Amino acid sequence: MNAPVKIETTLKDWETDQEVRWCPGCGDYAILKAVQRTLPQLGSDPANTVFISGIGCSSRFPYYIESYGFHTIHGRAPAVATGVKLANPDLDVWLVTGDGDGLSIGGNHMMHVLRRNVNMQIMLFNNEIYGLTKGQYSPTSREGTRTPTSPIGSVDHPANPCAFALGSGARFVARGIDVSKNLPDVLKAAHAHQGAAFVEIFQNCIVYNKDVFDAFAAPKGAEGQQLWLADGEPMLFDKGTKGLAFDAEKLAFTVVDVVDGDWQAAGVRVHDVKNRVMAHMLAELPFDPFPMPLGVLYDDPAPTYESAVIAEREASVSGKEANLAKLLSGGQTWTVDGSAQDPV
């Protein structure tokens, strides 16, 4: 793989002439802007960038980014993207999916793209609902969600996208919020990670699941509800007055008060993005009484799938010549001459 050439672009360069068709006020707009803001900062080249999506509101995303784009079929974007990366590992691939696309119909492909560790950024827009099909409950909908298909409340237990990603073997797992000013930083971290980088983005579907994340996503009181993680930094929230400590007895986190900024005295733990066990605990941390952990939960790179495929190919090809005529006449052969009455 060649080192990507950084080129200079502006946000405008990443806008297409296509009319954006999301509902006014949809969280997707904020994510689109955050991505269009991030790409110039990364020095990305539109000609070398491919956005690949499945089906759903989120999956319309590629039409609105001035790069290469492939709007595929429901749930299958990870498989298409795997083929793209194996055919041309130099392409910078962003995968756009949703909770229905990525965790229901495409849950299997999501698991495998993560465990194989194909180098791409995966943005899963989680709005806990099927938007494009008009508001049915999704695999991340909380129990009791009332929708046309669950008129008296859903009874399914919801899936936890980050826990699923970790369980599938992901080496990078992060969380963001559509309207958060921190989202570009999360996306940059995902891009810097070599391998499959999984980012769950809480996205407000204002039509079918309005403000479902308000408890922690609403700007008012956010400090008290959002725990923004940073590698090597103490896990503090609520303006540094609270933190997460580890209760070794219970093998669980607890919320502790931090007095006068002395987080060490309060026993607050320092976030370590390479600690997989901690990442699992953070991914599963139940919101309220705990804050919502956001930012990079886990980042511990491992060799990518395509690099392993290339290395294996190079090793098995070395010293062999690709002679088609020889290949065709492989195995045991015999010659029939003009008269051809006796075996050779």
Partner 1 sequence: MATQAPPASTNTPTDAPDAIVVRFAGDSGDGMQLTGGQFTLSTALAGNDLATFPDFPAEIRAPQGTLFGVSAFQINFGSRAINTAGDAPDVLVAMNPAALKVNLAALKPGGLVIADTGEFTKRNLDKAKYDANPLEDDSLAPYDVLAFDISARTLEAVEPFGLGKKDGLRCKNMWTLGLALWMFDRPREPLHDWLNRKFAKAPDIAAANIAALDAGHAYGETAELSAPLKQVHLPPAPSEPGLYRTITGAEAVSLGLVAGAQLAELPMFFGGYPITPASAILHHLARLKEYGVTTFQAEDEIAAVCAAIGASYAGQLGVTSSSGPGIALKTEALGLGIMTELPLVVVNSQRGGPSTGLPTKTEQSDLYQAVYGRNGDAPMPVIAARSPADAFEVAIEACRLATQYMTPVMLLTDGYIANAAEPWKVPDPDSFEPFPAKFLEEPRGEELLPYKRDEKGSRPWIKPGTPGMMHRIGGIEKDANTGNISYDPANHQHMTDTRKNKIANIEVPDQEVAWGEQTGKLAVVGWGSTYGPIKQAVRRSQDKGCSVSHIHIRHIWPLPKNLGELLSGFDRVLVPEMNTGQLKTVLRDQLLVDAESLTKTSGQPFQIAELEEAICAYFDGVQGNEGGQVAANDQQLPSTVESE
Q: Which of 207, 270, 309, 310 touches ligand SF4 (CB under 6 A)?
A: 207
- Region of 63-71, 124-132, 156-164, 221-229 interacting with partner 1 (CB under 8 A): 63-71
Please report the DSSP string for 195-214 in residue order.
SEEEEEEE---TTTSTTTTH
CA distances from 229 to 9, 236, 246 (A): 30, 8, 15
Identify the H or E element spanning 122: strand 120-126
Nearer to partner 1, 108 or 254 (CB): 108
Give the list of residues 6+ apart from residue 279 with CB closer than 8 angstroms, or none: 166, 173, 273, 297, 298
| Residue 39's binding partner out of ligand SF4, partner 1, none, with CB under 5 to 8 Å set by partner kind | none
Residue 18 interacts with partner 1 (CB under 8 A): yes or no: yes
- d(Cα 77, Cα 54) in Å, to the nearest integer? 5
Residue 286 interacts with partner 1 (CB under 8 A): yes or no: no
- Of 171, 141, 173, residue with least CA distance to 284: 173
- Of 91, 83, 82, 92, residue with least CA distance to 118: 82
Q: How far is the CB of 63 from ligand SF4 (least distance, A)?
A: 13
Straight-line distance from the first to the last Cα atom of the chain, in angstroms, rounded to the nearest whole number? 50
Instruction: Please count the residues of this chain forming the interface with partner 1, following the rule CB under 8 A.
Output: 63
| Residue 91's binding partner out of ligand SF4, partner 1, none, with CB under 5 to 8 Å set by partner kind | partner 1
Nearer to partner 1, 41 or 48 (CB): 48
Q: Is the dihedral of CA 31, 298, 120, 6 positive or negative?
A: positive
Q: How far is the CB of 54 from partner 1 (least distance, A)?
A: 10
236-237, strands of its sheet edge to edge: 236-237, 242-247, 252-257
Q: How far is the CB of 139 from ligand SF4 (least distance, A)?
A: 16
Q: How far is the CB of 183 from partner 1 (least distance, A)?
A: 23
- Region of 44-52, 161-169, 179-187, 283-291 interacting with partner 1 (CB under 8 A): 44-52
Provide φ and ψ at 144, rounded to 5°: 90, 5
Please name the amino acid found at residue 138: S
Residue 95 interacts with partner 1 (CB under 8 A): yes or no: no
Site string for ligand SF4, 30-59 (x = CB under 6 A): ---------------------------x--
What are the start-end ranges of the E strands in 13-81? 49-53, 68-71
Residues that bind ligand SF4 (CB under 6 A): 22-23, 26, 28, 57, 127, 131-132, 205-208
Residues that bind partner 1 (CB under 8 A): 16, 18, 46-48, 50, 52, 55, 62-63, 66-73, 76, 78-88, 90-91, 108-109, 111-112, 309, 312-313, 316-317, 320-322, 324-325, 327-338, 340-344
